[in-house]
């Protein structure tokens, strides 16, 4: 239900409870040039507001804030942006397109950037945009309850970290996935692992295969 005075309450009628009691959407449309193109609700109760400006928002119930699920600026330099190819990309086992992929396809259809324009083409800028884009996808997939898209983009993110040699960020990702880590330093030295094999092991962990040298859970 979307009221004309910019309030959006979300109620689960079957369970007789309010998912979101009442939240203002006025901050999303404070720019007079932006109009609401669509307003939908996911099966987990997460609202999605898509604007003519090329931004799509969802509400983070845990933090009580609106957050961007996607936006047109990723098309200006992210290597992960696929534009109109979204029509066939990121489909699930049933052949249905994922929600995050659908949002990007809708943004591409607006032709705000024609899906091809590039702002700053310097390598470091494209890398920064690509990583930011993938991190946004991961966050959106989690909030919108799209596990298949989360796994797909997690693998792409790990691969990009490996290609760019960002070991520190790869270790941060491992800590987020595994919890606190104790590294077997002697094993790393003996086996002579470098960043590429490190990221490969990260990929194996994402697939559910635990490398023998990687980590064990514990408390600091």
User: Residues 137, 80: contact at Cβ < 8 Å?
Assistant: yes
Contact between 141 and 147 (Cβ < 8 Å): yes
* Amino acid 120: pLDDT: 59
Cα separation, 188 vs 50, in Å, equals: 47
* pLDDT at site 177: 79
pTM value > 0.75? no
The answer for residues whose C-beta is within 8 angstroms of residue 85's C-beta and 6 or more apart is none
| Closest among 6, 9, 51 to 27, alpha carbons compared | 6
Q: In tens digits, what is the pLDDT along the chain, a chain of 220 residues?
A: 555 456 677 777 777 777 777 777 877 877 667 788 998 989 888 999 999 989 999 999 888 889 999 999 998 889 999 765 544 444 544 456 899 999 999 998 886 654 445 555 677 888 999 999 999 999 999 999 999 999 999 999 999 998 888 888 888 888 887 766 555 444 444 444 444 455 555 655 555 544 433 444 444 3
Residue whose C-alpha is closest to residue 138's, from 166, 98, 178, 109: 98
Say how far apart CA 192 and CA 6 lie, in whole Å. Answer: 59
Q: What are the extents of the domains in the chain?
A: 7-164, 180-220
Residues 6+ apart with CB under 8 A from 5: none
pLDDT of res. 219: 40
User: In this structure, are strands 17-24 and 36-41 parallel, antiparallel, or unpaired?
Assistant: unpaired
Dihedral (Cα; 166, 205, 154, 92), 10-degree rounding: 160
Residue with tokens 């606190």, as numbered in its chain:
180
Whole-number Å distance between alpha carbons of 211 and 218: 17
User: Residue 92's CB: how many other CB atoms inside 10 A?
Assistant: 14
Phi, psi of 113 (to 5 degrees): -120, 5
- Contact by Cβ (8 Å): 70, 136: yes
Start-to-end C-alpha separation, the chain:
47
User: Which pLDDT belongs to residue 211?
Assistant: 41
């Amino acid at each position: 239900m979307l009221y004309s005075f910019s309030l959006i309450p979300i109620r689960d009628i079957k369970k007789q409870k309010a998912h979101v009691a009442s939240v203002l959407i006025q901050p999303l449309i404070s720019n007079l040039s932006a109009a609401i193109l669509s307003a939908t609700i996911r099966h987990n109760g997460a609202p999605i507001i898509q604007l003519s400006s090329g931004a799509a928002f969802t509400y983070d119930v845990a933090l009580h804030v609106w957050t961007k699920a996607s936006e047109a600026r990723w098309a200006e330099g992210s290597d992960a942006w696929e534009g109109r190819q979204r029509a066939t990309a990121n489909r699930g086992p049933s052949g249905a397109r994922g929600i995050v992929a659908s949002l990007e396809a809708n943004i591409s259809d607006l032709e705000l950037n024609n899906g091809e324009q590039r702002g700053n083409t310097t390598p470091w800028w494209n890398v920064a945009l690509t990583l930011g884009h993938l991190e946004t996808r991961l966050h959106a997939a989690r909030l919108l309850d799209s596990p298949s898209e989360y796994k797909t983009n997690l693998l792409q993110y790990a691969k990009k970290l490996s290609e760019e040699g960002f070991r520190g960020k790869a270790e941060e990702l491992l800590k987020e996935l595994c919890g606190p880590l104790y590294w077997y330093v002697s094993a790393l030295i003996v086996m002579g692992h470098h960043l590429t094999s490190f990221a490969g092991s990260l990929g194996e962990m994402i697939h559910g295969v635990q490398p023998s040298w990687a980590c064990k859970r514990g408390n600091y």
